[in-house]
Amino acid sequence: MTDELLRVDRLVKHFPVRGGALNRVVNQVKAVNGVSFDVKRGEVLGLVGESGSGKTTVGRLVLSLEEATSGNVFFDGTNITALSKKEMRRFRTRMQIIFQDPYASLNPRERVRTVIGHALALHDIGPPESHPDRAVQLMEQVGLSAAQLDRFPHEFSGGQRQRIGIARALAVNPDFIVADEPVSALDVSVQAQVINLLSDLKDELNLTMLFIAHDLAVVEHVCDRVAVMYLGKIMEIAPADTLYSRPNHPYTEALLSAVPTPEPGRKRDRITLSGDIPSPIDPPTGCVFRTRCPRAEKVCSEKMPKLVGLGEGHFSACHLTT
């Protein structure tokens, strides 16, 4: 058995843009452009970047919730991008997702008992008579009580709803979870509680996770490695300690400079990027970050740099720093 549970190989996703009287395809939104990475068993890989960088699309492609334009996703040695919907069904119990919005991801007309019960019944997890006990166990596992099982989602706070979403994901005993910005819709005071819960569950259940976020301060506390994404491309991948102490790519440096320091009175040298992230319909030639990079040179507009190994699992895609 290999240590690698998930391998993403040159993943591409383009969404068609339609227009005109005949509603023809007139362009493409290049959401993901040749993304490759792997996740080892029991590891949490953080995927970070600004809004519009393609992080969520990568997460959905990994779970085959979106069909890839090209590229492959290998889960435990099986190329799941080549599977039919029927064949993919047997992998659904092993791969789950925690959605970003705990308000929209729960059916407001269903009690929590039913929300969790759907997952157990759909995938035929244990005999039906065991489902009530399993629901109680899951609620307690995420820090809620059995007495809350008969409540509706609107009777819970945002943090509690996200805990219910986590319980639903855990119901089928998955090996791998995509956590799609699981705390971005929550109050700051609640974010730490949910992050600590995910960290505890990861250790307790030996979960493997792809943790998607735009906040590097959040990722630091839960991830073993971090991949930095910009406009459909991976800019840098490194162990979390290395990325935070020795960032190599200018984009990573800019993101880290915006993270508040925990020490009162201490300030970072803020790197302010000019402009906004370009449109994925018409990304820049060469390095996609060059239009905002403070160190861009002529070579940056001519070709896209490849991810180059810097040692100890550290990879960076920059002409000027590799």
pTM of the model: 0.92
Q: What is the mean pLDDT of the chain?
A: 90
The per-residue pLDDT for 73 is 97
| DSSP, res 79 | E
Say if residues 167 and 140 touch (Cβ distance below 8 Å). Answer: no
Distance CA 226, CA 127 (A): 40
Q: What are phi and psi of 54, to 5 degrees?
A: 105, 10
Sign for the CA dihedral angle at 217, 219, 222, 225 comes to: negative
Say if residues 158 and 187 touch (Cβ distance below 8 Å). Answer: yes
The per-residue pLDDT for 241 is 94
| Reduced 3-state DSSP string for 7-58 | EEEEEEEEEEEEECCCCEEEEEEEEEEEEEEEEECCCEEEEECCCCCCHHHH
Nearest to 215 by CA among 228, 197, 224: 228
Q: Does domain 4-94+174-316 have CATH number 1.10.1060.10?
A: no
The per-residue pLDDT for 274 is 78
Q: Check residue 263 and give left, alpha or beta (phi > 0: left; psi -120 to 50: alpha).
A: beta
* Rounded mean pLDDT, 247-270: 78
C-alpha distances in angstroms, 2 versus 39, 82, 173, 223? 11, 21, 20, 21
pLDDT at 264 over 70: no
The per-residue pLDDT for 59 is 96
Both tokens assigned to 266: 């201490």
pLDDT at 41 over 80: yes
The per-residue pLDDT for 265 is 58
Contacts of 122 (CB under 8 A, 6+ apart): none
Per-residue pLDDT reduced to its tens digit, 76-107: 999 999 899 889 988 999 999 999 888 888 99
Residue 322 — pLDDT band, cuts 50, 70, 90?
A: low
| DSSP, res 320 | T
Share of the chain above pLDDT 70, in %: 96
Distance CA 2, CA 5 (A): 7
pLDDT at 267 over 80: no
